[in-house]
Amino acid sequence: MRERLSSDTYIDGILAGDRVILSRAITVVESRLAEDKLLAQAILNGILPQTGRSLRIGITGIPGVGKSTFIEALGIYLTSINKKVAVLAVDPTSSKSAGSILGDKTRMEELVKDPLAFIRPSATGLSLGGVARNTREAMLLCEAAGYEVILIETVGVGQSEIFVKGMTDFFLLLALPGAGDELQGIKKGIVEMADAVVVNKADGLFADEAAQAAATFENALHLAQAGESGVAVKVLTCSALENRGIPEVWETVQQYVATTVKNGFFSKNRAAQQVDWMHEIVRQKLEDLFYQNKEVKKQLHGIEEEVGAGKMLPAEAAQLLLNLLFKI
């Protein structure tokens, strides 16, 4: 077992841009151990003044759309213009090993070797709470370590998109060409959450189909109501494999940020996200208290069996368990 470092050692290492210390600090904030929770809080308090200065970008899309290839291409472009980039990839979790399944580091072979880049795949922990619980803290740690752009990749298959949208400044939806049912394969709500839609794999035989898919999205978004940001959703095409269209994507992000900073939405959105984060932490802590309660632990299995057998209504069972927690 590795020696446990002090909070000051972590703070100094993070602020110095030490990637090994940064990685170990993220492991601490992901830990569910009581002593690690205290250490994580001390680390986060220590680095807090150096956070909030990065641009936070969420990237989603259905599996197979090429998220990792796109993120690597974007990351390499950003480091080529001297930007420090951190990639936080929210991977699904294996129910057997509890580890992340997709292993983004192995799928971003070039970017992982770049001294200006940091890649951290994190397992969801078998719950959406795993996404919300750790990703924000990891993002703050990366910001304190000097990373100017934080790219957060979602699984792309469910509610995790809502969590990532709620912690980023710009939300990008990757789409595929030639599917014929672009809007059916992706939830309408996710399309409406996007600040930009980028049709990837616009190369070779798929170039024309990508243009058609982009037109489909433009028509659909034209009918949608304007978002709070006051910026129209832009639809672009790119080929991450051939590194075409990537500078245009970055230019779109910059234009969005410039406009939202000017109209006040950027800071308003950040403030709202902080408040939402507070409420999310309250929910998490209440859930932790519930499942750690001795009386709840003692009776939970029996009550679950009663509910499963149809002998007790779920609402009645939930209230009974809550009464145990609050000693009613």
Domain range for 148: 51-263
Q: Verify that 234 and 185 share a domain, yes or no.
A: yes
Q: Verify that 31 and 4 share a domain, yes or no.
A: yes
Q: Which CATH number goes with the domain that contains 23?
A: 1.20.5.170
Q: Verify that 257 and 113 share a domain, yes or no.
A: yes
- Distance in angstroms (rounded) separating the CA atoms of residues 178 and 182: 8
Predicted local distance difference test score (pLDDT) of residue 209: 86
Q: Is residue 96 part of a domain?
A: yes
Predicted local distance difference test score (pLDDT) of residue 237: 93
Tens-level pLDDT at each residue, the chain (328 residues): 567 899 999 999 999 999 999 999 999 998 888 889 899 999 999 999 999 999 999 998 888 889 999 999 999 999 999 999 999 987 654 434 444 444 445 578 899 999 999 999 876 554 444 454 688 999 999 999 999 999 998 876 566 777 888 899 999 999 888 654 455 445 566 777 889 999 998 888 788 888 888 888 887 777 666 678 989 889 999 999 999 999 999 999 999 999 999 999 999 999 999 999 999 889 988 998 999 999 999 999 999 999 999 999 999 999 999 999 998 7
Predicted local distance difference test score (pLDDT) of residue 102: 46
Beta strands in the chain (DSSP E): 55-60, 85-91, 117-123, 149-153, 170-175, 196-199, 234-237
Q: Verify that 189 and 249 share a domain, yes or no.
A: yes
Q: Verify that 222 and 170 share a domain, yes or no.
A: yes
Q: Is residue 269 part of a domain?
A: no
Q: Is residue 273 part of a domain?
A: no
Mapped onto helix, strand or coil, the DSSP state of residue 118 is strand
Predicted local distance difference test score (pLDDT) of residue 105: 52
Q: Verify that 160 and 32 share a domain, yes or no.
A: no
Q: Is residue 68 part of a domain?
A: yes
Q: Which residue, among 47, 55, 59, has the nearest Cα to 22 in the 3D structure? A: 47
Q: Verify that 254 and 282 share a domain, yes or no.
A: no
Q: Verify that 58 and 46 share a domain, yes or no.
A: no
Q: Is residue 272 part of a domain?
A: no
Please answer whether residues 172 and 200 qualify as being in contact, where contact means their C-beta atoms are separated by less than 8 angstroms: no
Count structural domains, the chain: 3
Q: Is residue 271 part of a domain?
A: no
Predicted local distance difference test score (pLDDT) of residue 187: 56
- Distance in angstroms (rounded) separating the CA atoms of residues 9 and 108: 30
- Distance in angstroms (rounded) separating the CA atoms of residues 252 and 237: 12
Q: Verify that 78 and 119 share a domain, yes or no.
A: yes
CA 312 to chain centre: 38
Q: Is residue 109 part of a domain?
A: yes
Q: Verify that 214 and 154 share a domain, yes or no.
A: yes
Q: Is residue 270 part of a domain?
A: no
Q: Verify that 65 and 213 share a domain, yes or no.
A: yes
Q: What is the pLDDT of residues 183-226, one digit of tens each?
A: 544 556 677 788 999 999 888 878 888 888 888 888 777 766 66
- Distance in angstroms (rounded) separating the CA atoms of residues 270 and 166: 9
- Given 11, 26, 50, which residue is the final one in a domain? 50
- Given 35, 50, 65, which residue is the final one in a domain? 50
- Given 235, 263, 291, which residue is the final one in a domain? 263
Q: Which CATH number goes with the domain that contains 188?
A: 3.40.50.300
Predicted local distance difference test score (pLDDT) of residue 61: 86
Q: Which residue, among 202, 200, 185, 261, has the nearest Cα to 230 in the 3D structure? A: 261
Predicted local distance difference test score (pLDDT) of residue 149: 98
Predicted local distance difference test score (pLDDT) of residue 127: 46
Predicted local distance difference test score (pLDDT) of residue 228: 86
Predicted local distance difference test score (pLDDT) of residue 4: 80
Q: Verify that 55 and 182 share a domain, yes or no.
A: yes
The residue assigned the tokens 């641009």 is 55
Predicted local distance difference test score (pLDDT) of residue 5: 92
- Distance in angstroms (rounded) separating the CA atoms of residues 197 and 70: 13
Predicted local distance difference test score (pLDDT) of residue 92: 55
- Distance in angstroms (rounded) separating the CA atoms of residues 117 and 112: 7
- Distance in angstroms (rounded) separating the CA atoms of residues 284 and 262: 35
